[in-house]
Amino acid sequence: MERRRNGNGIGGKWHTPCTQCPLRALPHFRDFNAKELDFVAHFKSGELSVDRGSTFLVEGTHSPHIYTVLNGWAFRCKFLSDGRRQILNYVLPGDLVGLQGGLLGAMDHSVEALSPLTLCVFERSKLDRLFERHASLAYDLTWIAAREERILDEHLLSIGRRSAIERTAYLLSYIEQKARQVHMLTVNRPVIPVTQQHVADTLGLSLVHTNKTLRKLADRRLIKWLDRGCEVLASDDLRRLAQWEGLPEMQRPFI
Amino acid sequence: MERRRNGNGIGGKWHTPCTQCPLRALPHFRDFNAKELDFVAHFKSGELSVDRGSTFLVEGTHSPHIYTVLNGWAFRCKFLSDGRRQILNYVLPGDLVGLQGGLLGAMDHSVEALSPLTLCVFERSKLDRLFERHASLAYDLTWIAAREERILDEHLLSIGRRSAIERTAYLLSYIEQKARQVHMLTVNRPVIPVTQQHVADTLGLSLVHTNKTLRKLADRRLIKWLDRGCEVLASDDLRRLAQWEGLPEMQRPFI
DNA sequence: CGATGCCTTGAGTGAATTCAACGCTTGTGG
DNA sequence: CCACAAGCGTTGAATTCACTCAAGGCATCG
């Protein structure tokens, strides 16, 4: 499996004011009211752009920032001390990362960009003020944490109890749904930008066996594998194969 | 593996006023200030006692309550539609359950008692008031959710990337530490009340293979297996075998 | 005293891993 | 412009790990 290494390539600049946040335009997200928007605009201290392959949050470090993804793909992962890697979840626009580190102290996982990535930067130090003055956003924050927990529950069920082909079907159908919700998969850009190594490290399988399992799904015309990417052809069939209910279709908050 | 079934045995009565909550006496937990205590006492609407084997929160249902464990052992779990079970985490005194359901709607997992269990009952409907009026408790709630997420990350790493013997070592050392923090393991009562079926369903292994793996650990004098239970003899050795860092020793909030 | 729940063990099978090699594309430095 | 390395995907073969099947033992409980 993929072993720990280090990549960087971080640059920062300010672009998007919160009032014109492209995420607010997505029907998938709950919009802010004026008071909330005012606070969030104040909470945001800047923007960060990172390259593909860059690990912008590192396990064991203490970050003064929390981030919301504005654009691009990333993943959270964790390593054993001998280098074995487990990918925990994928991160897309609207997702918050670094909250664990922000609340509990040091990061216990890393976050790496799968594509060029733009992030909103929030100051950890202003979190207290959020809880003091903006109950609705505090509620949202808890909601977001509970939602991530729920997804990890499903991942755990998947790795623990689904067969290799079911797991793979679950994962691809999950990513496809999640990405579609935030318009990161379109007719022009239908590809999930992962390697088979990423899939293997998410599913707890070896690279070789992942390759053979993906081939089975491709032979059944459920997916198409491209260079550095996967196109899902039949999301519903994958979902059924995995005995998975799918993501709820409710609107969700973001920060 | 264990298949879905149903058990019950639920009775309710009121015993412990929050002012005399035994959890507050534990050094492991952050205590409340007067204002917080006042609210929590008001938030708590009663107590619930359930028998061993009783599933008091059921996947798919919508519970009007959130619970904190006062005494006893339990676990959270999830099922595939064909009945395969995955145990997600273990629940001990001071742990909050049902928050996911409370915030997001229906429960997406079940919670079952491993021993006779006493629970504090909170009204989901009073959650809004908590966020409105008690920022510090709102913060704690988010903190608690982030902590659970962190633990699930570690479980995921464990099932995904650790070998059978490492996984087993991790699990038993994890439960031992967690239980010891809340004084649920003592010289008089050193036994974790699980069957090998529970261990298997937590680790994503078959019952037979779990049995053989536990035997290896027992042969190495790291654990002792009893009827319906496990005694950890060498927690640190297990932890090292699993390449696990262990739980942080910080005080934590509870509600 | 038969039923049930839990633990144990051996044998045979199947699934997933490791090892090894090769092809293709992309990028880079000579 | 070519040679070469690096990253990614693919495939076959051998091995190991984990699963299923089958059976039996030992408590506890009605």
Domain boundaries, chain B: 2-133, 151-242
A59 Cα to chain B: minimum distance (Å): 12
Task: Look at B160 and A203 and tell me if their CB atoms are within 8 Å.
Answer: yes
Q: Does domain A151-242 have CATH number 3.50.30.40?
A: no
Task: Look at A243 and B155 and tell me if their CB atoms are within 8 Å.
Answer: no
Residue B213, nucleotide of least CA–C1' distance: D18
- CB-CB neighbours of B221 under 10 Å: 10
Digit-coded pLDDT (tens) for A154-199? 999 999 999 999 999 999 999 999 999 999 999 999 999 999 999 9
Interatomic CA distance for residues B201 and B89, integer angstroms: 11
3-state secondary structure labels for all residues of B99-139: HHHHHHCCCCCEEEECCCEEEEEEEHHHHHHHHHHCHHHHH
Measured in residues, chain B has a length of: 255
Nucleic strand D near CB of residue A197 (< 7 Å): yes
Q: What pLDDT is recorded for position B229?
A: 95
Contacts for A55 with CB less than 8 Å, ≥ 6 apart:
A6, A7, A8, A110, A111, A112, A113
* Correct CATH for B2-133 of 2.60.120.10, 1.10.1040.10, 3.30.70.360, 3.40.640.10: 2.60.120.10
Q: Which chain A residues touch B204 with a CB distance below 8 Å?
A: 159-161
CA-atom Rg of chain B in angstroms: 18
- CB-CB neighbours of A18 under 10 Å: 18
Q: What pLDDT is recorded for position A71?
A: 96
Question: Are the C-beta atoms of A217 and A168 separated by less than 8 Å?
Answer: yes
Residue type, B110: S
Which two three-digit tokens encode residue B109?
């997992």
Nucleotides of D under 7 A from a protein CB: 7-13, 17-22, 27-28
| Greatest C-alpha distance within chain A | 55
Strand order in the sheet with A223-226: A191-192, A229-232, A223-226
Return the percentage of chain B with pLDDT > 70, whole number: 95
* Its pTM surpasses 0.85: yes
pLDDT at B13 over 80: no
Nucleic strand D near CB of residue A225 (< 7 Å): yes
Task: Look at B153 and A78 and tell me if their CB atoms are within 8 Å.
Answer: yes
Interatomic CA distance for residues A115 and A157, integer angstroms: 28
Averaged pLDDT, B67-96? 97
Coil, helix or strand at residue A147 = helix
Search chain B and give the residue with CA nearest A107: B150
Residue A183: phi and psi, rounded to 5, are: 60, 35
- Minimum-distance CB partner of B135 among A131, A159, A243: A131
Q: Which chain A residues touch B156 with a CB distance below 8 Å?
A: 78, 86, 88, 152, 155-156, 159
Tell me the pLDDT of chain A averaged across its residues: 94
Task: Look at A85 and B161 and tell me if their CB atoms are within 8 Å.
Answer: yes
Tell me the pLDDT of chain B averaged across its residues: 94
pLDDT band at A85 (very low <50, low <70, confident <90, very high): very high
For A141, half-sphere exposure in the C-beta direction (CA atoms, 13 angstrom radius) is 30
Question: Are the C-beta atoms of A51 and A9 separated by less than 8 Å?
Answer: yes
pLDDT band at A13 (very low <50, low <70, confident <90, very high): low
Averaged pLDDT, B225-251? 96
pLDDT band at B252 (very low <50, low <70, confident <90, very high): very high
Interatomic CA distance for residues B206 and B84, integer angstroms: 11
pLDDT at B73 over 90: yes
Query: Going by DSSP bridges, is the β-strand pair A55-57/A110-113 parallel, antiparallel, or unpaired?
Result: antiparallel
Interatomic CA distance for residues A162 and A144, integer angstroms: 26
Return the percentage of chain A with pLDDT > 70, whole number: 95
Q: Which chain A residues touch B108 with a CB distance below 8 Å?
A: 150, 153-154
Task: Look at A156 and B155 and tell me if their CB atoms are within 8 Å.
Answer: yes
